[in-house]
Structure 1
Amino acid sequence: MIGLVVILSLALAGCALFQDHSDQTSEKTVQTAKTAVTAVSTVHTTDYYGRWVSDSPQVALYLSANQKMAYFQSGQKTITGKYSLKTSKNETATLTQIKFGNAELSLANATSMTLTHNDTTIKLTKDTSWSPHNGEIPTDAKVALKSSSLAPAFRETNN
């Protein structure tokens, strides 16, 4: 029995001597490559689609994906109909509608836009809960300009 223990001990000791050391780490110096990050900020016509609102003055602008527009403003006649948008390189677009005329739209970010029309500038906030593809455009100004409807689901916060 003692002989068997000695043989097994020698066998294990021999295995330890011939162990594979390929998984051991060695210190290496690695030089990193220079990296550059380039942000791409491209504005597309579709970025302007949606329901844009302001509670002061009371305004609701609907721009649907199928080129239907509705502009509601407190104390003004509602303007509806087909529209066109022409974007430019500086994150602005010209909105053209036969009854409305031309207006300049300027995106500050994905949910904030400035509307300039007839020497009046209005800051609008996008209501991200309204879909330009299948959202209903109201036909009544009282519905479109209700206080609760001028408070979009998303509000921009200043941090």
Structure 2
Amino acid sequence: MSAYMAYLKKNILTVITCIVLLASVFIVYTVFAIPNKYDATAVITTDTSASSYIKVIKSEGYIDDVSKQYSLSKDEIINSLDINGNGHMLTLRSRTTDAMTSKKIVDCLVTRLIKYHPQITVKQNATVAAHPSSPSLLVNGALGGLCGLIVGLVIIGIQMKRKGKDQA
């Protein structure tokens, strides 16, 4: 183990190069290849268990209403939705590549829900997101750096093993 550490110290530049290179590749890929996603979230207080409203919101009628009103496909709407119920609190989130579209989806669903269930209250209206919620440059850069560390250590291990065979 001490021989490996000595060899690692001697060739640390290889590991650092791998870390910087792969972190850079991950960041460039994140910036240019992964589309930004924007969240819009509304929080609703219900009179009964919030879980009973989740099925209602995901029903055909609610999704059709949004689809017709904003010319969006049903699959696009369903795939963008994340609805969670906790006690009497219902959180309705839409994540799309356009901030306004996310807000429109949430607003339309909340408006329809209030229309047919006036006993619920909107605790927090959806707002247009100023910044994308994903992807994260920091997380992807860190993942790239971690991959670079692993690749660098593997390269050092292979070089050390080859050097050992050459000496034998």
Output the TM-score relative to the length of structure 1.
0.26
> RCO higher in 1 or 2 (8 Å CA, sep ≥ 6)?
2
More helix by share: 2
Q: Whose radius of gyration is greater, 1 or 2? A: 1
Task: Calculate the TM-score normalised by the size of structure 2.
Answer: 0.25
